[in-house]
């Protein structure tokens, strides 16, 4: 006997919160970070490091990055001198703000229009992020932002957990997008899916070892992926 009930099907966004790294994911600033680290090391009479080594720490907070690059440096005065030299040179280079990667501005606006909550999780300090957000006219664009100097540095998951708490979202409702193993490991520890971008600080081979849900070569590919893998079917009987 027929019950008289009908089946209603619809597709909805699997994710509600998109969490973005900043440097190397949204903004083409990797070369300036590498140069600023090198200048700071020279000013502090520390050994020069190659570009691969420096790119390997991008995503960490600056104190954590210094500790990885120069584990023998324990003098707080040297660490502070390094921090100042790095900040001064980076600010000098940022007299003209680093450019967004192609397609970023358009895609982020599209995500907002589609109803996603947008967040930033970055190794930058709060003052630095606020400065670049203002330069882009994005002071109030993102729903929430977290910086390494106000919470735990990546890959600790605290940054993501604070973002989820602010948005009232579960881990399965969020997606982390980043260009470093620190982004992907932070997402894994928080129980959040991740997408790796191959055009930033670290190579695609290193990123894929962290098993992201997807690897993209251009930012515009994220929108296409969300249209397919980022949806879930809802079935209801009426």
Strands 193-197 and 144-147: unpaired
pTM of this prediction exceeds 0.75? yes
The pLDDT of residue 13 is: 75
Cβ 182 vs Cβ 59: under 8 Å = yes
Q: What are the start and end residues of each CATH 3.40.50.1000 domain in the chain?
A: 10-28+99-237
The pLDDT of residue 198 is: 95
The phi, psi pair for 136, rounded to 5°, reads: -90, -5
CA distance 31 to 234: 45
pLDDT tens for the chain, 238 residues long, are 444 455 544 456 789 999 999 999 999 999 999 999 999 999 999 999 999 999 999 999 999 999 999 999 989 999 999 999 999 999 999 999 999 999 999 999 999 999 999 999 999 999 999 999 998 899 999 999 999 999 999 999 999 999 999 999 999 999 999 999 999 999 999 999 999 999 999 999 999 999 999 999 999 999 999 988 755 544 444 4
49 by Cβ neighbours in 10 Å (0-12 / 13-18 / 19+) ranks as middle
The DSSP symbol for 67 reads H
Instruction: Mention the CATH class of domain 31-93.
Output: mainly alpha
175 DSSP β-pair partners: 18, 193
The DSSP line for 126-179 is: HHHHHHHHHHTT-TTTSSEEEETTSSPPTTSTHHHHHHHHHHT--GGGEEEEES
Q: What are the start and end residues of each CATH 1.10.150 domain in the chain?
A: 31-93
Catalytic residues: 21, 23
Task: State whether CATH 3.40.50.1000 applies to domain 10-28+99-237.
Answer: yes
Report helix, strand or coil for 226: helix
The pLDDT of residue 64 is: 93
């Amino acid at each position: 006997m027929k019950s008289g009930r009908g089946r209603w099907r619809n597709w909805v966004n699997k994710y509600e919160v998109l969490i973005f790294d900043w440097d190397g994911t949204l903004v083409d600033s990797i070369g300036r970070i590498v140069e600023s680290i090198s200048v700071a090391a020279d000013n502090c009479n520390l050994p020069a490091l190659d570009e691969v080594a420096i790119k390997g720490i991008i995503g960490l907070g600056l104190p954590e990055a210094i500790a990885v690059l120069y584990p023998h440096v324990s003098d707080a005065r040297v660490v502070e001198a390094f921090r100042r030299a790095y900040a001064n040179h980076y600010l000098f280079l940022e007299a003209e703000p680093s450019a967004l990667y192609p397609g970023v501005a358009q895609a982020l606006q599209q995500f907002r229009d589609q109803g996603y909550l947008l967040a930033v999780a970055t190794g930058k300090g709060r003052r630095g992020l606020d400065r670049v957000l203002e330069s882009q006219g994005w002071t109030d664009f993102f729903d929430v932002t977290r910086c390494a100097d106000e919470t735990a540095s990546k890959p600790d998951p605290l940054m993501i957990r604070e973002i989820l708490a602010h948005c009232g979202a579960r881990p399965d409702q969020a997606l982390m997008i980043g260009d470093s193993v620190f982004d992907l490991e932070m997402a894994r520890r928080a129980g959040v899916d991740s997408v790796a971008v191959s055009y930033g600080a670290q190579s695609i081979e290193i990123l894929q070892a962290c098993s992201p849900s997807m690897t993209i070569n251009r930012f515009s590919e994220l929108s296409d992926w969300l249209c397919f893998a980022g949806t879930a079917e809802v079935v209801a009987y009426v």
